[in-house]
Every structure is written in C-alpha cells, then in structure tokens.
Structure 1
C-alpha cells in the first residue's frame, strides 16, 4: 500500500510522488488536480510531470518538525474545495506520502468534515496505514482545530487566505514612553 494512492474522501486521494508520475494510473482514477508538497531541494526531482493534463498546486515545505504548515492549510483547502466543487478529483502527494501530504489531508478532513484531530488522524490512517506525520506536524494539527473553528464562527464570515495572513500580523508593542 505504501507505493499506492488511497482515496481518503470521495474524490480526494493521498499517496507518494511515484503515483504522480504514472499518467495511466492518474487517468484511471480520473484525477484532475494535483497538490504537490516538497521542499526546495526536491524541486527539480518532484516536479509536475503532466501540466497539460492536470492542474497543479505546489507547496514548498520541508519535512522538519520546525516547519510551519498552518499558514499553508487555507490555500490547500481552497484549491481542493474548488476542484471537488467543480467535479474534479484531487491527488495530494509529497515524496513518500508518509508525513507532509498526510498532514495536509488530515487538516483538510478536520476542517471539512468537522472532526477533531484524533478522529481525523484515525480516519486518514485507516485508509493509508503507512502515514506518520512527524511530531511537529502532529502538534500543529492539534493547534489548527481551534484556529479554523474560531475563524468559522466569527460572524459567519469566510476569510480568504490573504485576510487570514493579514489578521495574523502582530501589532507593534506600545512605546515605553506611554503613560
């Protein structure tokens, strides 16, 4: 199973990079969109192979516990939602389909299906047994639940990724001279 892709939700697949190079496999599964997660050192190797056949969304993050994934979750979700809403089917991959791409799919499942971290993690793992995001990614997934929940509940307003980034910018500290 490690070298295969699995359907996690209807139309949402998860797996290793090797599947993204198999045009016949992608077409058999009616894939229309691909989320490619890689770090800068993998850019020349893990590249889009069939841009004439699929719409790609590339995310540059390393498989390091210190890498920040949360800022990328809203854009990935938007890309996947757009594809699925328009009848597409999405394949999400990193190099091995073990750490980075499963973390993104768990975040997507959490937010879309409204599962907590543990439920979403178990749900995805029951479909892709070999997944194992690094510990830093697991911590971030746990931290993400109240972030998207709060964002969704604020006045029912749906924020765009740009609005989320602007909201996250900290205000400057007050001057010490203030009385």
Structure 2
C-alpha cells in the first residue's frame, strides 16, 4: 500500500503526482479520468478526461466548494464504466479529502467511516486538520442535500450494491490492519516510529516547516503585476484560498457546476501589467488679487493683451 495508486472503490483510485504521470500504471488500471488537485494542477495526458483544481495543502484552503463538482466528475465516469484517479502531490491530504467526500455522498457512511475506507486501501491517507474539519462540517450541513442531488441527477442504481460490499470489506480490513499496527490514525507519539510514516518525528517536522517557509518566501518575492503563462495554460499567480478561481479546467462527461472561473483569463495568454503612471501637467501660478488667490481666466479671441 502506498506503492503506486491504490483502489478504494470499484473504478476509483487515489495516488500521488508520480502515479498520474506513469503511463504504465494508468494503462494497468485502465484509468480514463484524472482528477488533479494541487498547487499546479494541469492536464498531462491528451487521451484522458481531466478535472484540474488548483488548491494548497493548508488548513485554510476551502475544498468544500469543489465537492459537488468533483462528485459529478467521478460519479459520471464510474457509471460509464470508467476508472478515475484522484491525485494530489503526495496522495495523502487533498486527494484523500475529495475521495472521502465522494464516498460519503454515494453511501450511508459518515466522514470518519469513509476515511477508514480510504485508509484501508491507502495507509498513508491523512488529511490535514483543516480538511478534516471541513469534512465534518460537510456531513452536518450539506451531506443530506448532496446525496439527494446526486440521486436526482444520476438515477441509476448500478453502483450501489458494489459500493456497499466494497465499503464493508474495507472497514473490516481497516480494523485488522489497525490491530496488527500495519496502519495508523495519525496519532503516533513524538519520537515513536509510525508504521506508515504518516506521523513525523521532530526532525522531519522542522524540515517540513523550513521547506514551507522557503516556498512561501519564494512566492511572495514574485511580482504581483505579471502572470507567467505556459504553453498548457498554467499560471503562477497567487489566488485566494477560499475563492473558486482554483478551478482550472474541466474535460469530462459531467458538466461543471460552476461557470465563469477567473482562471479562464489565463488561457487566453494574457499578461497582466500595471498601468503606466500619467504625467501631471505643470502647475498654474496663481495671481494674488486683493489678498485673495484666484486662477486667471483664459482670454477670449476678441480681447487684446493688456
């Protein structure tokens, strides 16, 4: 587990960025659709259907706004016998959060049970605390409506029995793996060796914080007035964490639930530049008349100079 992409439901896999580029793996699992969600998500394989979402692995990143769109992309592909790969960079946090939200939406599992299903297939699955909070909030406030929406939009019941059987099997496997310490829930004590590598020791945490700090400084040093555009349409501009501008592209069977993304501007190859500073006109010297300041009126054509 964790070596390559991992199956969590029939037709649904979770992996990392390396897996998404590995043509042999994609062919082995007959991947037809790829949901890419990370900081520089973009289409790589021309023969695959893509949903690309730019999102950071930080607790304040709003992923809930994309759950319905991701559910449509995944569910429509699976109903047409397609196989979907969800990936981020490490296949631990962002991709797992999207997979958990989907499993909650198409089954009767709560977010903790759905996370166990994913962890049983991919031991390193461990969304950050912000994403876990978003999943809990999604369960309490929007899950019932999302389940109803999916049933109305996709009346087919072809996947229900297979998903229920797979989830029951994965939950049983999860308990066995937990007892044998082949998996963990992300709560290993500092200094204790984690069986899956999810829990980091203090040295690894310091290195991670240093890398994140250097990355943030590098992003802040970039000029905000210029947006670099590659041949594939990806940009390096910084976007708000909670805004829908993280949606980059959509090429799949299900239509997107949002339109008018700010990211569409970048596909035109436009470069944003700061407006030139207008030059001010020379000041007019006022004449002092009777102790009051006034601006001289322009002479008419029929008036001679005094």
Pick the TM interval, shorter chain.
0.7 to 0.9
1:161 match: secondary structure: coil
Aligned to 2:201: none
Alignment of 1:131 onto 2:131: no
Aligned to 2:75: 81
Aligned to 2:212: none
Distance 1:151 1:109, change over 3 A: closer
Write out per-residue CA displacement over residues 90-131 of structure 1, whole angstroms, 9 at most, x where no aligned residue. Answer: 000000001100000010111111211111011111111001
Q: Give the distance between the partners of 1:25 and 1:101, measured in 2 at CA.
A: 18
Q: Give the distance between the partners of 1:60 and 1:29, measured in 2 at CA.
A: 25
- Does structure 2 conserve the Cα–Cα contact (< 8 Å) formed by 1:2 and 1:16? no
- Does structure 1 conserve the Cα–Cα contact (< 8 Å) formed by 2:67 and 2:101? yes
1:152 Cα deviation after fit: 4.1
Distance 1:16 1:152, change over 3 A: closer
Listed as ranges, the matches of 1:1-179 within 5 Å are 1-39=1-39, 43=40, 47-51=42-46, 53-146=47-140, 147-152=142-147, 161-162=257-258
Distance 1:30 1:118, change over 3 A: same
Aligned to 2:296: none
Question: What TM-score, normalized by structure 1, do the two folds share?
Answer: 0.80
Give ranges in structure 2 of 5+ residues lacking alignment.
154-255, 259-306
Q: Give the distance between the partners of 1:14 and 1:95, measured in 2 at CA.
A: 11
Distance 1:153 1:22, change over 3 A: closer
1:140 match: secondary structure: helix
Give ranges in structure 1 of 5+ residues lacking alignment.
163-179
Cα root mean square deviation, aligned = 1.9
The structure whose RCO (Cα within 8 Å, separation 6+) is larger is: 1
Aligned to 2:161: none
Write out per-residue CA displacement over residues 126-164 of structure 1, whole angstroms, 9 at most, x where no aligned residue. Answer: 11100110000000001111312135459x866x835xx
What stretches of structure 1 move > 3 A for 4+ residues in a row? 150-154
1:2 Cα deviation after fit: 2.6
How many pairs are equivalent? 154
1:64 match: secondary structure: coil
